[in-house]
Chain A
Amino acid sequence: AQKVTQAQTEISVVEKEDVTLDCVYETRDTTYYLFWYKQPPSGELVFLIRRNSFDEQNEISGRYSWNFQKSTSSFNFTITASQVVDSAVYFCALSGMFSGGYNKLIFGAGTRLAVHP
């Protein structure tokens, strides 16, 4: 089965704390893609990153970093020195041929992050 699990439903931190959002996936595909999206209160899903299954190199973009580990089927997202503007719901997603196609995203339930001043 193709599945994405975000076990953390809600996380609350104080500004400037580091926070890691967990994502665990299941797939039969050998070639697949993993994504993170941010959904602020406005509702629009904002693309953050896409990673293919052959690229396990960790990525850093400003205060954001991603740790992809195939051995544990995890694709975790860390925000360093969190800010109030980071408050949103964050979704991890998976796509692959067995999932129904590369453009069919299977989403996790999301993690609501609240950053307090």
Chain B
Amino acid sequence: KAGVTQTPRYLIKTRGQQVTLSCSPISGHRSVSWYQQTPGQGLQFLFEYFSETQRNKGNFPGRFSGRQFSNSRSEMNVSTLELGDSALYLCASSLATENEQFFGPGTRLTVL
């Protein structure tokens, strides 16, 4: 069974631009969660989508948004990029709730 895939793996943007990251969950998994990992703040939860609906949201500004499609694939978007948005963005999928979450390889975003 294929694991969680994330594209692109690396991305370089400049301040003020916007970016879209993509995540394809494990086949059959309906929940997709996003996390941001930085050296200073560690791993922080961004949001969770389940059956195309945002079910949970972390404490991030409105510049961070996401969506989920009918095939469970998810995208997250960051608008008006700031230097502090440079991070590893990890996506995790799980069957539903109260199940193990499996992570993808991440997208490393650098904002210049």
Q: Scan residues 7-53 of chain B and give those whose CB is less than 8 A from a CB of chain A.
A: 31, 33, 35, 42-45, 48, 50
User: A42 near B: Cβ within 8 Å?
Assistant: yes
Q: How large is the interface on A (under 10, 10 to 19, 20 to 34, 35 or more residues)?
A: 20 to 34
Partner of B97, one of A93, A101, A108: A101
- With a cutoff of 8 Å between Cβ atoms, the chain B residues found around residue A110 in the complex are 42-43
Contact A43 B101 (CB under 8 A): no
Can you name the residue of chain A whose Cβ is closest to the Cβ of B48?
A103
> When A104-B45, A104-B56, A104-B58 are in contact, do A43 and B106 touch as well, CB less than 8 Å?
yes
Cβ < 8 Å to B, chain A residues 83-117: 91, 93, 100-110
Cβ-neighbour of A47 out of B35, B45, B102 (below 8 A) = B102
Give chain B's interface secondary structure class. strand
> Which of B92, B94, B101 has the most chain A CB atoms inside 10 A of its CB?
B101
On whether the beta carbons of B97 and A103 are closer than 8 Å, the reply is: yes
Within 8 A of A (CB), among B47-78: 48, 50, 55-56, 58
B81 within 8 A of A: no
Smallest CB–CB gap between B108 and chain A, Å?
7
How near does chain A come to B44, taking the closest CB pair, in angstroms? 8
Are B105 and A102 touching (Cβ within 8 A)? Answer: no
Give the interface of B toward A (CB within 8 A): 31, 33, 35, 42-45, 48, 50, 55-56, 58, 88, 90, 92, 94, 97-98, 100-106, 108
Q: 13 A–B contact pairs at CB < 8 A?
A: A42-B105, A44-B103, A45-B103, A47-B101, A47-B103, A101-B56, A101-B97, A103-B33, A103-B50, A103-B101, A104-B48, A107-B44, A110-B43
Interface residues of A (CB under 8 A from B): 33, 35, 37, 42-47, 50, 91, 93, 100-110
